[in-house]
Amino acid sequence: MADNKRRGEDADDERLNDEVVNDSAEDDATDADEPVSRGGTATRSRAKADSADGRKTRTDADRVGLFGRIARFIREVVAELRKVIWPTRKELLTYTAVVIAFVTVMLTIVAVLDYGFAKGVLWVFGNPS
């Protein structure tokens, strides 16, 4: 039974594979009509044409002052904060409770180990008092 369900052996799978092949053949035909990109060499030659020594020259519009950069930074921060999915009050309280419980458990484990190692060291090296 499991052998019949392998990819390509089921009649439904063969039908789906034929459709995929037909779709890709149509895509290949449309790709031939699109222009071919020249890659990165066109941008390099354009940058060399901008200045004689090969460095791209900056225009006055590219130069931004200190306050302009700070304003752009603040606009970008606000835009990113608007994308954040903020937790609801219930989720926030649940996450806070989980963190506090985890920290309490870890604190207890570390305190017990610290106490045990301290007693062990005193037992091995003796108590001077």
User: Has residue 59 been placed in a domain?
Assistant: no
User: Has residue 52 been placed in a domain?
Assistant: no
Instruction: Indicate the pTM of the whole model.
Output: 0.40
User: Has residue 48 been placed in a domain?
Assistant: no
The stretch 66-77 carries a mean pLDDT of 94
Q: How many domains does the chain have?
A: 1
User: Has residue 23 been placed in a domain?
Assistant: yes
Return the residue matching tokens 């499991």.
2
Q: Residue 101 pLDDT more than 70?
A: yes
Tell me the residue range of the domain where 7 lies: 1-31
Q: Residue 1 pLDDT more than 80?
A: no
pLDDT for position 126: 83
User: Has residue 12 been placed in a domain?
Assistant: yes
User: Has residue 17 been placed in a domain?
Assistant: yes
Closest by Cα among 76, 59, 58 to 68: 76
User: Has residue 24 been placed in a domain?
Assistant: yes
